[in-house]
Amino acid sequence: MALAGMRGLSVFISDIRNCQNKEAERLRVDKELGNVRTRFKNEKGLSPYEKKKYVWKMLYIYMLGYDVDFGHMEAVSLISAPKYPEKQVGYIVTSCLLNENHDFLRLAINAVRNDIIGRNETFQCLALTLVGNIGGREFAESLAPDVQKLLISSSCRPLVRKKAALCLVRLYRKIPDAVNIDGWADRMAQLLDERDLGVLTSSMSLLVALVSNHYEAYWSCLPKCVKILERLVRNQDIPQEYTYYGIPSPWLQVKTMRALQYFPTIEDPNTRRSLFEVLQRILMGTDVVKNVNKNNASHAVLFEALALVMHLDAEKEMMSQCVALLGKFIAVREPNIRYLGLENMTRMLMVADVQDIIKRHQAQIITSLKDPDISIRRRALDLLYGICDVSNAKDIVEELLQYLSSADFAMREELSIKAAILAEKFAPDLSWYVDVILQLIDKAGDFVSDDIWFRVVQFVTNNEDLQVIKILCIHLINMIVYGILMEPLLYVFDQPYAAAKAREYLDKPAIHETMVKVSSYLLGEYSHLLARRPGCSPKEIFSIIHEKLPTVSTSTIPILLSTYAKILMHTQPADPELQNLIWAIFNKYESCIDVEIQQRAVEYFSLSRKGAALTDILAEMPKFPERQSALIKKAEDAEVDTADQSAIKLRTQQQQMSNALVVTDQSSTNGTPPVGQLSLVKVPSMSSSVDHHSEDSGLTQPNGTLTIADPLPPLADPQPPSADILGDLLGPLAIEGPPGPAVQSEPNVVPGIEGVAVDGAAIVPVGEQANAIQPIGNIADRFHALCLKDSGVLYEDPYIQIGIKAEWRGHHGRLVLFLGNKNTSPLVSVQAIILPPSHLKVELSLVPETIPPRAQVQCPLEVMNLRPSRDVAVLDFSYKFGTNGVNVKLRVPAVLNKFLQPITISAEEFFPQWRSLSGPPLKLQEVVRGVRPMPLVEMANLLNSYRVSVCPGLDPSPNNLVACTTFCSESTRAMLCLIRIETDPADRTQLRMTVATGDPALTFELKEFIKEQLVSIPTPTPHTPALPVSPVTQPTSASAASNDPGAMLAGLL
């Protein structure tokens, strides 16, 4: 600032600088503030020069950090001064002392507006700077139209238009609803034709702000942006003053490529080709040089180009070139360039088919893990975590474990979490996973969070492989006793040899308390599996664990007490000596000051006196319910993106809004959920990704009175869809009441369509209106295919494709719906409602209200099977495209066979189980007629496809099949199911089927399910009209019906 002639201000600044201490400075400031306050009281006697001088002093005092609570009115009044020196002071001091909520600013609005609409360019620039710096709703609502007029005015100088654009950017970012941008698409396209690079750069900043919220209105600007990049990169048609170290206007290049990232795609092939030519030039023309400023500018352009290449999903050749260029960067000596290379390589992992290319640089990335700079080490760790898969998991996890011993304390917790996650996700075998986790606990020590050993306990508890549990227990014993880890395979083949080798190491070194926790818990649960091994008796296991009791903290003692109780339970009838030792410990801690320890000691001592009943009370822990790994969630929460807010991140945030509705607890006797009882449900996120495809399960009649589901096609090779209306109506049973002869023998007559026999499953439980948009492909075929496989397309029409991907474990299912917009316009009013039957607990995550053009969103879905049933969940999905509203009811392929797990058993295991299940309702037999003729081999393949394992050789007759499977639900757990099918070689259209399980409901549901897959639905002749149709009856002879008891039973059923 120019202080010429202001002697008083110069003297005051000199006095402040000469103060010896803070107290002297405060006294001088208080004296000057008192002097200024006195002079302002007699404002009429102040000349413009004096007022300007005192306001400057106020600003200087404010910059020193002192509060200035007066003189604001004097500063605002200077804005109305006619001369530049006073007006400049007024604008500067007002910008510094006042904020957007200050009442005095209202007094300045008219003066600022007069300067904006005036003809003095200097005053216009001052006013625009004030509005941009302070902003505020009142300023935006009052002055934004005038600022917009300045921007598009052809009579204003470029300097004023540039400031107007920047001022408008600030107002729009701060208060977007106060700035009227309706119809600004054409004006923005005109501004992008500006030759002046200063105005063009400021206008590009405005375009980035506009397209970040409403890119749909600015498609006309997209080719203009590509032409700007061509002008800068290819033609280099710019003035010399806008060239920075030989780079044509790097700021404008970065802003232009940032704006292009907000557009979902580029449809025009010529524009797309021109843009890729420009990006190719940028990739080929960027290299590392010695000049730091040139490096900074060129790399800013390069990394924005890489982000645009990833956004446009370029060809694999260009992606390979990008990865190769980043590979050079992570190998240079300059740490900043290495950091940027690792960070952008991590971002490229979001692009499909790039991970294998990045893995070529795995050795260099591992080298970066040992870099002196911790920020580079963190980026290298993130990148290794991202590129890990089954092929390189062993190498990466071993490197992480090796690095763990020398890693910084600040990184060890994150490092241990990611190593544990990778070991869990990509373990080639269970023994390797156990070995890695124990090494991790041993090396990481205090930096191993409780979540890691909690996950180990959950993993071991849910694992059914007893051999692996034995190996783990032996591992733990060696760790506690000898403090070392042995190779797990040694325990499988020669455990005594491994124990002998273990004794060669140091004798009983100290181990970390976390190892004591996990060892005590698991040995308490499973040490009885090792009771026959040398050195693994209950008394010896107790001695090994009890030696660590004096060294642990109070948080670990309750775990040890539980272990002692478990060991005592496994020794029933109790060993008197061991029992007395454990009772003495319980008595010791009955008076402990810690409430948790005291309560456990008292309760365990009381329980242990119950003798054999202790076995039932302290039985083995049940399996933990399948849920998202706490380790993965913790790693996701710890992710920190150090980059600026990008277009991709903004779009992701916009897609998090949803109005998804879920039925939480619906019970209905007929399987039709009450639609009026929907409630908003907060659903947790899921780490696994599953793809769901919705399909239209209904056939709407012209009068709109009936909605009928599409049927499941036959289980053989699907035939082309026909116009057979009867075949469409007689689909397999999906919604059914309790078993009963009347229900199965009488066809369901649908009200409103006289004479049509309709299976109850074919009716979708929610009414549906006719859609103007027709689906692509046969919805029933898609649903049937997904009943046999875990991924595919569920529904597709000209505007949207809904895919599904599923993973089934026990009675839990994890699915993901993939909603893909196939057009260049957004899909709006998107809504998804799950209508589950009473036997399924279904939770659907957030579904975005809007799906952007050419975009795909993922919506996780979690299913839990409560009890056996063939009812299906229905997805009520709707959206709008333009004026077209689409609503479809789609059956979710969470069917009964998804909860089956095929097993193979021997004759010694089969026949005792078969004999123990004698007669109804646990064993049901039925003669099934109307079976689709097929060879016995084809029938066996059919059962195998539905996860029912055929066991050859169990039935002496070559015309019979014996099969078995296990059914998983929350009520039945894993229950064995036995099936026998007896066929007649002379008549393949009938058979006798016997199903036996330990649950009556499961027996009936499984029998009916298999029957549905075997029975073929007869089709009418081509001359028979589709509607009305008489009920279909199976052709049976009168003599057979009267003489064959099986035929009579089939008629009743």
Nearest to 764 by CA among 850, 829, 671, 841: 671
Q: How far is 963 from 985, CA to CA, in rounded Å?
A: 19
Q: Quick one: average pLDDT of 907-921?
A: 83
Q: How far is 249 from 449, CA to CA, in rounded Å?
A: 50
Residues ≥6 apart with Cβ < 8 Å to 1:
56, 92
Buried b (16+ CB within 10 A) or exposed e, 205-214: bbbbbbbbee
Mean pLDDT of the chain: 75
pLDDT range class, residue 95, cuts 50, 70, 90: confident
Q: How far is 768 from 291, CA to CA, in rounded Å?
A: 68
Q: How far is 389 from 349, CA to CA, in rounded Å?
A: 12
Q: Which of 538-547, 679-688, 929-938 has the lowest mean pLDDT?
A: 679-688
pLDDT in tens, 813-865: 989 898 988 888 888 889 898 888 988 989 888 888 888 888 888 888 889 99
Q: Quick one: average pLDDT of 265-282?
A: 87
E strand or H helix at 95? helix 84-97
Residue 785 · residue 792 · CB < 8 Å = yes
Q: How far is 167 from 131, CA to CA, in rounded Å?
A: 7
Q: What is the pLDDT of residue 446?
A: 72
Q: What is the pLDDT of residue 674?
A: 35
Q: How far is 201 from 342, CA to CA, in rounded Å?
A: 30
Q: What is the pLDDT of residue 802?
A: 92
pLDDT in tens, 711-754: 333 333 333 333 332 222 223 322 233 333 333 333 333 333 33
Residue 977 · residue 967 · CB < 8 Å = yes
Q: Decide if pLDDT at 696 tops 50.
A: no
E strand or H helix at 929? strand 923-929
Residue 315: DSSP 8-state? -
Q: What is the pLDDT of residue 253?
A: 92
Paired tokens of 766: 């929610």
Q: Decide if pLDDT at 672 tops 50.
A: no
Q: What is the pLDDT of residue 563?
A: 86
Q: What is the pLDDT of residue 295?
A: 82
pLDDT range class, residue 5, cuts 50, 70, 90: low
Q: Decide if pLDDT at 1034 tops 50.
A: no
CA of 401: how far to CAs of 29, 364, 414, 439, 512, in Å?
A: 61, 18, 12, 8, 16
Q: What is the pLDDT of residue 790?
A: 87
Q: Quick one: average pLDDT of 381-391?
A: 89
Residue 951 · residue 963 · CB < 8 Å = yes
Which ranges of 929-1023 would DSSP assign to H, the alpha helix? Answer: 936-945, 1000-1014
pLDDT range class, residue 259, cuts 50, 70, 90: very high
pLDDT range class, residue 531, cuts 50, 70, 90: low
Q: How far is 976 from 967, CA to CA, in rounded Å?
A: 7
Q: Decide if pLDDT at 673 tops 80.
A: no
pLDDT range class, residue 617, cuts 50, 70, 90: confident
E strand or H helix at 116? helix 105-117
- What string of DSSP letters covers 611-653? GGGHHHHTPPPPPPPP---HHHHHHHHH----SPP-HHHHHHH
Helices (H) and strands (E) in the chain — how many of each? Answer: 43, 21
Q: Quick one: average pLDDT of 911-919?
A: 82
Residue 921 · residue 1003 · CB < 8 Å = yes
Nearest to 928 by CA among 1020, 1051, 1039: 1051
Residue spans of beta strands (DSSP E) within 192-321: 243-244, 247-248
Q: What is the pLDDT of residue 995?
A: 92
Q: Quick one: average pLDDT of 798-811?
A: 89
pTM for the whole structure: 0.54
pLDDT range class, residue 226, cuts 50, 70, 90: very high
Angle between the 335-347 and 316-329 helix axes, to the nearest 10 degrees? 150
Q: What is the pLDDT of residue 1029?
A: 36
Nearest to 999 by CA among 818, 839, 843, 790: 839
User: Which residue type, as a one-letter code, is found at position 622?
Assistant: P
Q: Decide if pLDDT at 300 tops 70.
A: yes
Q: What is the pLDDT of residue 964?
A: 92
Burial class, 440, CB count within 10 angstroms (exposed 0-12 / middle 13-18 / buried 19+)? buried
Q: Quick one: average pLDDT of 456-475?
A: 64
Nearest to 858 by CA among 815, 918, 907: 815
Residues ≥6 apart with Cβ < 8 Å to 973:
none
Give strand pairing partners of 707.
700
Paired tokens of 188: 């923005």
Q: How far is 572 from 568, CA to CA, in rounded Å?
A: 7
Q: Decide if pLDDT at 254 tops 90.
A: yes
Q: What is the pLDDT of residue 463?
A: 67
Q: What is the pLDDT of residue 451?
A: 76
Residues ≥6 apart with Cβ < 8 Å to 210:
172, 181, 184, 188, 218
Residue 65: DSSP 8-state? T
Q: What is the pLDDT of residue 472?
A: 60
Q: How far is 749 from 727, CA to CA, in rounded Å?
A: 15
Give strand pairing partners of 925.
994
